[in-house]
Each structure stands twice: as C-alpha cells, then as structure tokens.
A and B are shown apart, each in its own frame.
Chain A
Amino acid sequence: MKNGLTIIFGFTILSSFGFLLTDLALAEQPPAYFSTSFYGGDIAKSRDDEKFSEDWQLKDDSFIGGLEHLKLRYPLKEGWLLKSEIKTLPGQRNHDLILELSKNDLFYARLHYERFPHYYDNSGGVYQNFATPFFVIPEEPGTDRQNLLLEIGLTLPDLPIFTFSYEKRLRDGEISSLTWGEATEGAVSRMIVPTVKEVNDDVNIIKIGSEYKHDIANIEVEQRWEFTDLESVRTEKNFTNGLPSAADATVVDEKDTYYESSQTTVKIDKTINKKLSLSGGYRYTKVDNDSEQFVKTFRDTGAVNAGSRNWSDPNSDSDVNSHLWNLNLLAKPIKDLTVQGFLRLKNIHRDSVSTWFDRTQVHDITARTNNTTFGEGIRVAYKRIPRIAPYLEAEWQQGDIEIKEKENRTDFFQRDTDSDYDKQTYTIGLSFYPFKRFSGSVQYRKEITKNEYDDDLDTESPTAIVPGGYSAFIDKQDFDTDIYTTRLTAHPTSSVSATFRHEYRAQEIDSKMEGLDRELAHVDMQTFSGSVIFTPISNLFLTSMVMRQNLRVKTRAREDARTPTRAFEGDSTTFVNTAIFALNEKTEFSADYQVSLTGNHDESVTNYAPDPIGLPLEHDYTMQALTLGVKHKIRKNMTLWSKYSLYDYDESHIADIDDYTDHLFAVGGEVRFR
C-alpha cells in the first residue's frame, strides 16, 4: 500500500508539471497563478546523529532539499477551477500534495496526500556517576507517517450538498522508549535501559455526509465508519557495558488490536430571528474492539523461559455504545450583549471480556462500564463599553460511572465500583484598549474536579495497609486548578512594539484513601514571556523574545524522610531573536538565533541520593541554532536565496552522549507567474 501511495504521488507530480507546461502558457485569464520555490543543500555533521534528528526532524545523512512548494491556481473553462500545492523533499522523505478540482454549482474533488518521518533519539538519558556513553541502542528509531484523503462533494444549486470521503492514515517504524533491564558498567548495575517499540498503524475512515440549507432549518447528517489495525512489539532486554546482552532473558510484548466503529451524526441549526439562534444534534457511536496480546520471555538460546510472563491464547473483545445529545443557544437580548447556553448529555455503555493463559491458569475477565455525563454551560460577552470587552464563562458537568469487574480463577476478584464526578470551570476575563497604542487582557480561570469512588464490592482481602484491599484504591480525589493570565501589548512609537505575557498555573490534587490521611500534591507552573519588535531605520527589522518557565511537581513524598523521591523541577529559558536588513530593494540579509537552556538535572538527581540507582535523567542542556541568510531578487518574480545554519547541542554530562554540532548550507529560489 505504501509503495502504491508513493507511485500515485510521483505520477501526480509529473502530471501536474506536464499540465503546467502545456496549459499555463495558454492561460490568459488574470486569476491564474503559479509559484514555486526550491532549494538544495547539505548537512555537515558531528557526533550524535539521532539526537540531532529528534531535535530538528532532519536526517543529516541525506540530501536536504527539493521542491519546497509549488502552488497553482488555474481556471480552466468557465466555472472550472484547478488548485494544486506540492512539496517534495525526497532526501527527507517529506512530501505533500493537494489537488483540487471544482466546478461552480456542480461538484468539487480534493486529494491530499502527505508523507513525513518522525525521528527519535536512541539514547535513554544518563545515570548519575556513569562515565562511559554506553547508554545507547544500536537502532535509529523513527516512524514514517503517510496520510491520504480523498473527498468528493456534489454542490448542485437548491439541493442538499452530498460529500464522500476516504481517509487512510499509516504509521510504521520504531519509537524510542525506556524499559526494565539491567544496564551494567563494570561492577555497577542499573535497572532501566533504552529500547524501541515497533509500531504499525493502519487507520481507514470512510465518511458520507449531506448538508441541506432550508428556510425552516439547516440540517447536516454524517455517517462515518472507521477500520483500524494497530500492531506494536516492545522488547525488554539487558545491556552490559553499553551493548545489548544476549546472555539474558528477553521479554517480548506484542499487541495486535483491530477495531471497527460506526458513527451517525445529525446536526440541526436554526436562526429564529436576529436575536436568537438554536443548534443541536445527536451522535450515536458503536465500537467493536478485538485485540490479542502476546507476552513471551525467551532465554538466550531462543527457548521460552518459564514463569508467568508467557501468555497463551490472549483475546479481548470490547463493545461500546455511546449516545450524545447536544443543544446550543445563542441569544442577543440587548445590543452588544451575547449570551450562549449549552446542554450536553452523553451515555457510554461498554461490555468487555478478555481471556488468557499464563502457563498456570486461565484468566477469564468480564468488565462492564456505564458512564452518564450531563453538562451545562453559559458564556456571556458584553461589548457595549468603549474600549473594554468583558466576558464570563461557566461550565458544569455531573457524571456517574458504574464499573463491574470480575475475574474467574483460583484467587478470583470481583469489584463493583460506583463513582461520581463533578467538574466545574469558571472563567472571567477582560480585554482592554485604554488608549491607542496600548492593549491588554487579563483572565482568571478556575477548574474544579471532584471524584468519588464508592467501593460497593471488593473481594480482594483487606490488608493492614489498605483496608479496601485494591491496590492504589482511592476513595476521593479532588483537582483544584487556578490559572491567571495577563497579556499587555504596547506600540509606544511606530517603530517599536512590545508584548508581555504571564501565566501562572497552580494545581492541587487532594487524594483520600480508605483508612488513611488525605494527601496533597501540587503542580505549579509559572511562565513569563516577552517580545520586542524594533524597526530603528526603515530597512532594519529586529525582533527578540524570551520565555522563562518554572515547573514544579511536588508530591507528599518530598517531606517524607522515608521516601526515595523529591519534587521534580523542569525549568527552562528560551530566547528567539531575528534580524532582517534590506540592503536595497533587491537584497536582504537575515539572521536568526535561538537558544534553549534547562537546569533541572542538578535538583532532580538528588532524588536518588545517596544511592543513585534511579531513573536515567536528562542532563542540563543548551540547545542553540544560528541561521544566516541572504535573499536577492533577480527579477520582479524571481528570487534567489542562500542560507547557513549552525545547530549545537551541549549537555552537562562528561560523556557528552547526546552532543552534536551540525552545519546546514542551502541555496534556493522562488519563481512566481500570473
């Protein structure tokens, strides 16, 4: 299928060029338009190729360049219009094609194909006190994504619009990951190693729809089918002195999931008068999910290892039926006052069974969930006040989930849980423009979620630790989030513009487990960002921005002397600066410099002191890029450019596992025709 898509893509590009060469010359109608840009270049690399690819999504061992964009708008006969956009960068396996053909009051057809890779690094961080750069897997992880969309619409006058579409989404490759496994350096061992997860996704979506605009109401109907096949293989294996070890057991976790879903949607909207509009709809979704999962443990000889991590005949089946009703109201009771109201009701019912054999006994599991959610919301905006625009929003959701789970085996379990949740969101804000060169906005948002888990039945025997029995069982859990946002923009002179933004987000998670005290966790994130745009002389443009972000994830464990974890700190500072200087009407120079720094390692590494056996960490790093460019206009419709980029990554670990310094040089051009 993938080769087929590539052939279709290549053929379409060639056809488009052929079309251009023959028909463009004949075109005399003013709206016809064609532009293209292209470039070619090379990357000079050093050190960690995979880290460079992950950070910049560029592969540094292949040709950089190709057709950056080709854009065409071309009227054919009367009412017929062809539009096309093409990008193809062969060395980077990055292609994009859009073809649209339309005829007024008859039809349109649209084809969109895109393909691009996503690269991942092949190291898993570094352990404290480990010097050698062993912590790297031999694979070069990366996935290849391909998306295809074909859409056809019938747009006959005074009749409903009919649409048909087919969509295919493919993802194939390897994603980097971390897993359990022994990593040994000399006599010292750690227990987390990098690995890859192989993935192969195939999603197919077919949609047919109709839209009818009538005096009584506008009606939209859509039927959607989805067929999805997902495969993944994850491997856990050991490392010795930097290399995968063949002498130990390897665990393979292989999943194959297939599901079919159908979805029927009906939407109706009606403008009753200038002051009142109503819209609403209903959606029915049915999902049938079948999956298999094989977990196998192999010895170095290839023989299957004994133990529970060897599954046979693993099958699961989940059937989901979901109903959603939605009603929206838009009212303007008085001039410049807008009021919106929303009601939403959703019910999801799921029946699941799964069975597997672990070489000792058969597990037969049944699970059933019934989830009903009711939501209400209101938004009010008032624009009567000169230069001030206040708004207020509130949303509420109440939900009830009944969960019944049962496993038939020797030490079977059965749980019936009735959980309720209540979500509330309140937003109040103000945009203001007090005088001509100054504007701003402030907003406060409060999010509250209250979860209650009523454990009606739990056959797992209570222990001295958790009376309820079920491990990690929570009775009550509340999320309380406050978000404050401020934005100010000033244009003190025509050549200066400055923007400042601040956001403070504070979240408290309050958990209560049966028979134990309540526990609090906090996530605090504070972000300052600011930018200045400065045009000191007419041919010089300067812009600079900075962001400082402080992130803290604190759990109760920080204050508990017995516990091995401390708060996680993830701070970062980022600068982005650009300068453009126009030497004359034809020639322009540009420079762009960006740098991102983090400083979370030194704090987080103490999580594991005095015995640093823990998780391999990201190190403090400095990631920077400098780009210098020159652009020269040869003719009114033709421009040539040249660009040099320096990419540099430096982390504080002495082994410099992930460090790289790469240089990119490229030349390109752009041509436009009308």
Chain B
Amino acid sequence: MMKAWPYFVLILTLGIVSCTIYQNTSVVPPLDIPGAEYVEMRMCAPCHRERVELFEGSTHARISAKGMEKEGLGCGICHGPGSLHMENEYEPGLIINPGKDPEICFRCHLDKKAEFRLQYHHPVIEGLVSCSDCHNLHGSEARSWTLTSFSDTNEVCFKCHPEQRGPFVFEHDAMREGCTICHKVHGSVNDKLLIARDSNLCLRCHFQTQTDPNRFWIGDSDHDARLPRGSCFSAACHTAVHGSNFDDHLRY
C-alpha cells in the first residue's frame, strides 16, 4: 500500500494545478456526441444500404418503433445521434462504433456488463474480445443458431475453441443442445465458465433413480465413492467430455 502514496500525491498536485485555471464547463457523458441529433434510418441507407436492409430482420429491430427513430430508436440505438456524422462523414468521433466499445451494448444489456466482471469471464472489458466477435449485430445471424443462418449451434465458439469441434467417433449428445447448456458464456463464478462447478452439472441429465440403498448408480456403474471426489470430468474420469475418438464413455 505504501507504494501507492507517490501516485496519490501526483494526482492531487495535478488537481491543485488545474484549480488555478478554474472556469465553468460541461462534462460530456461517455458515448454522447455533443451537438448531434438523431436521424431517421432511411438517412443512413445511401451509404450503409446493406446494413439498413439486414437490420429489418435482426433481433435489435424489435425495439425500433414507428416514428421513434428521431428519438434514438433507429440506428441511433447503438450508434448514437448521427446528424453530424452525415455532414462530415470522414470526421472521427462523430459516430459511435459499438464494435470497439462494449459500453454501448452495456447500456441495455446491464447484466452482461456485470457478468464480464465476475472472476471468470471472456476478456471483453480488457479489450481482447469484442461483442461483435460473437454476435453479428445487424443481421439475422445475430443469433447464429437460428434457422436464418448457415451456421450451426456452437460454430461461433469453435472459431476460438477448435479442439471442442470434432468430429468425434463418440459424440456427447449434450453438444447438440449447444455450449450454453453447460457454459455461462459471458461470465461465471465457476472456472471454465461452467454453470455449476461440481457434479450437479452432469447429474442434471445423468442422474437416475437409485435402486440400492448403499450405492450410487449411474448406468451400471457404482459412482458412490467417485462423485464426492470431484466433478465427473475434473476427476480425470470423463475428461473427453466434448467427445472422444477412442473411448465410448468419454474417459480419454
């Protein structure tokens, strides 16, 4: 803690120096564009035709209401007021680019802003990954696992995690339900972004009615001594939990 004192002193000094030139001013809230006004979506179309057309089928189009675009419910939802950008298209800083600043997404997706601050999270706040790396924000493929898409469930995850893609000789059916059936992908209190850290994760699907008071059966195998000792995959038993090329019980 002692090492911090010089820094405090420097900040304080800078503050005092600044006080000597005090005058009234206005703070610009983050993500605002001073002097700009919201514009209708059709005004964006001449330069961004494809984006405007795709937007109609996107998830975000749901919150756009008729006649409300000038109140920020068109392209301005994410890009801010665009009037100055239209007048000076090359001038930087006159339009917001959410692909580079997740804070604009967090204005509505408050829960994600907080989840990225849990101890296990994708490094979005750190600037190593952006929202647009996984979500196509304009088109229907914002939900790449829907019928509008050529991409299947999970493909967006396999881009960075190819080891889990397979194909495998023995597949785990859970992969068909999507990665999110086990992983809380934005942020989690559990390592590997898991929904649960212990064997409850697997027992959601693999628990069976017990027929012997002294044992804990899963399939025809007694797991009584194994289950308390860890989750099914961390105990080096079913380590090939995404799929295996050699072992039908996904042990290796």
Within 8 A of B (CB), among A278-337: 281, 283, 287, 289, 291, 293, 295, 311, 314, 316, 318, 320, 324, 326, 328, 330, 336
Let me know if A133 is at the binding interface, CB within 8 A. Answer: no
A509 with B205: in contact, given A395-B146, A555-B200, A564-B227 (CB under 8 Å)? yes
Nearest Cβ on chain A to B75's Cβ, whole angstroms: 16
Pick the contact of A584: B21, B162, B171 (CB < 8 A). Answer: B21
Residues of A within 8 A of B61 (CB): 381
Q: In the bound complex, do residue A388 and residue B110 qualify as a contact, i.e. CB atoms below 8 Å apart?
A: no
A57 with B128: in contact, given A318-B169, A565-B200, A576-B113 (CB under 8 Å)? yes
Residues of B within 8 A of A451 (CB): 173
Q: In the bound complex, do residue A587 and residue B26 qualify as a contact, i.e. CB atoms below 8 Å apart?
A: no
Q: In the bound complex, do residue A547 and residue B219 qualify as a contact, i.e. CB atoms below 8 Å apart?
A: no
Q: How far is the CA of A517 from the CA of B8 in the complex (A)?
A: 65
Which of A56, A265, A517, A574 gathers the greatest number of chain B CB atoms within 10 Å?
Answer: A574
Residues of A within 8 A of B246 (CB): 293, 311, 314, 316, 354, 356, 363, 365
Q: In the bound complex, do residue A644 and residue B66 qualify as a contact, i.e. CB atoms below 8 Å apart?
A: no
A338 with B56: in contact, given A539-B26, A614-B229 (CB under 8 Å)? yes
Q: How far is the CA of A287 from the CA of B166 in the complex (A)?
A: 10
Let me know if A613 is at the binding interface, CB within 8 A. Answer: yes
Q: How far is the CA of A259 from the CA of B90 in the complex (A)?
A: 44
Let me know if B47 is at the binding interface, CB within 8 A. Answer: no
The dominant DSSP class at the A interface is: strand
Q: In the bound complex, do residue A116 and residue B128 qualify as a contact, i.e. CB atoms below 8 Å apart?
A: yes
Let me know if A424 is at the binding interface, CB within 8 A. Answer: no
Given contacts A466-B208, A564-B228, A615-B230, 18 further A-B contacts (CB under 8 A): A180-B230, A191-B230, A344-B147, A352-B169, A354-B246, A367-B170, A369-B171, A466-B220, A472-B218, A564-B224, A565-B198, A568-B197, A570-B188, A583-B25, A584-B22, A586-B18, A596-B117, A615-B198
A562 with B234: in contact, given A287-B167, A572-B118 (CB under 8 Å)? no
Nearest Cβ on chain A to B62's Cβ, whole angstroms: 5
Pick the contact of B198: A419, A538, A568 (CB < 8 A). Answer: A568
Nearest Cβ on chain A to B178's Cβ, whole angstroms: 10
**Mask: chain A, 571-586; 1 = CB below 8 Å from B; 0 = not:** 1101010001111111
A465 with B220: in contact, given A180-B235, A632-B14 (CB under 8 Å)? yes
Let me know if B185 is at the binding interface, CB within 8 A. Answer: no
Number of A residues with CB within 8 Å of any CB on chain B: 190
**Mask: chain A, 526-556; 1 = CB below 8 Å from B; 0 = not:** 0101110101001111000111010101111
Residues of B within 8 A of A17 (CB): none
Q: In the bound complex, do residue A582 and residue B229 qualify as a contact, i.e. CB atoms below 8 Å apart?
A: no
**Mask: chain B, 186-210; 1 = CB below 8 Å from A; 0 = not:** 0011110001111111011111111
The dominant DSSP class at the B interface is: loop
Residues of A within 8 A of B146 (CB): 342, 377, 395
Pick the contact of B90: A31, A338, A545 (CB < 8 A). Answer: A31
Q: In the bound complex, do residue B197 and residue A236 qualify as a contact, i.e. CB atoms below 8 Å apart?
A: no
Residues of A within 8 A of B152 (CB): 346
Residues of A within 8 A of B203 (CB): 521, 555-557, 565
Q: In the bound complex, do residue A519 and residue B209 qualify as a contact, i.e. CB atoms below 8 Å apart?
A: yes
Pick the contact of B228: A203, A340, A571, A613 (CB < 8 A). Answer: A613
Q: In the bound complex, do residue A642 and residue B168 qualify as a contact, i.e. CB atoms below 8 Å apart?
A: no
Identify 27 residue pairs between A and B in the complex whose beta-carbon atoms are under 8 Å apart, listed by A's number. Answer: A33-B92, A54-B119, A56-B126, A181-B236, A192-B235, A287-B167, A293-B252, A316-B245, A318-B169, A326-B149, A383-B65, A386-B66, A387-B65, A389-B62, A439-B73, A466-B217, A539-B26, A565-B227, A570-B197, A580-B29, A583-B22, A584-B18, A594-B117, A614-B230, A615-B197, A630-B15, A665-B4
Q: In the bound complex, do residue A389 and residue B64 qualify as a contact, i.e. CB atoms below 8 Å apart?
A: yes
Q: In the bound complex, do residue B208 and residue A519 qualify as a contact, i.e. CB atoms below 8 Å apart?
A: yes
Q: In the bound complex, do residue A324 and residue B150 qualify as a contact, i.e. CB atoms below 8 Å apart?
A: yes
Nearest Cβ on chain B to A409's Cβ, whole angstroms: 12
A232 with B198: in contact, given A529-B110, A632-B14 (CB under 8 Å)? no
Residue ranges of B at the interface with A (Cβ–Cβ < 8 Å): 1, 3-4, 7-8, 10-11, 14-15, 18-19, 21-27, 29-30, 56-57, 61-68, 71, 73, 90-92, 107-111, 113-115, 117-119, 123, 126, 128, 140, 146-150, 152, 160, 162-163, 166-171, 173, 176-177, 184, 188-191, 195-201, 203-221, 224, 227-231, 234-237, 239, 245-246, 248-249, 252
Q: How far is the CA of A577 from the CA of B140 in the complex (A)?
A: 34
Q: How far is the CA of A632 from the CA of B149 in the complex (A)?
A: 48
Residues of B within 8 A of A225 (CB): none
Q: In the bound complex, do residue B234 and residue A178 qualify as a contact, i.e. CB atoms below 8 Å apart?
A: yes
Pick the contact of B110: A367, A375, A501, A589 (CB < 8 A). Answer: A501
Q: In the bound complex, do residue A535 and residue B27 qualify as a contact, i.e. CB atoms below 8 Å apart?
A: yes
Q: In the bound complex, do residue B123 and residue A57 qualify as a contact, i.e. CB atoms below 8 Å apart?
A: yes
Q: How far is the CA of A583 from the CA of B25 in the complex (A)?
A: 7
Residues of A within 8 A of B147 (CB): 326, 342-344, 375-377, 395, 397
Q: In the bound complex, do residue B252 and residue A295 qualify as a contact, i.e. CB atoms below 8 Å apart?
A: yes
Nearest Cβ on chain A to B23's Cβ, whole angstroms: 5
Nearest Cβ on chain B to A120's Cβ, whole angstroms: 9
Q: In the bound complex, do residue A618 and residue B191 qualify as a contact, i.e. CB atoms below 8 Å apart?
A: yes
Q: How far is the CA of A109 from the CA of B15 in the complex (A)?
A: 47
Q: In the bound complex, do residue A178 and residue B230 qualify as a contact, i.e. CB atoms below 8 Å apart?
A: yes
The 3 closest A-B pairs by CB, nearest first: A471-B219, A180-B236, A547-B114
Let me know if A122 is at the binding interface, CB within 8 A. Answer: no
Q: In the bound complex, do residue B198 and residue A644 qualify as a contact, i.e. CB atoms below 8 Å apart?
A: no
Q: In the bound complex, do residue B92 and residue A538 qualify as a contact, i.e. CB atoms below 8 Å apart?
A: no
* Minimum CB distance partner of B65 in chain A: A389
Residues of A within 8 A of B230 (CB): 178, 180, 191-192, 614-615
Q: In the bound complex, do residue A621 and residue B119 qualify as a contact, i.e. CB atoms below 8 Å apart?
A: yes
Residues of B within 8 A of A513 (CB): 208-209
Q: How far is the CA of A314 from the CA of B245 in the complex (A)?
A: 9
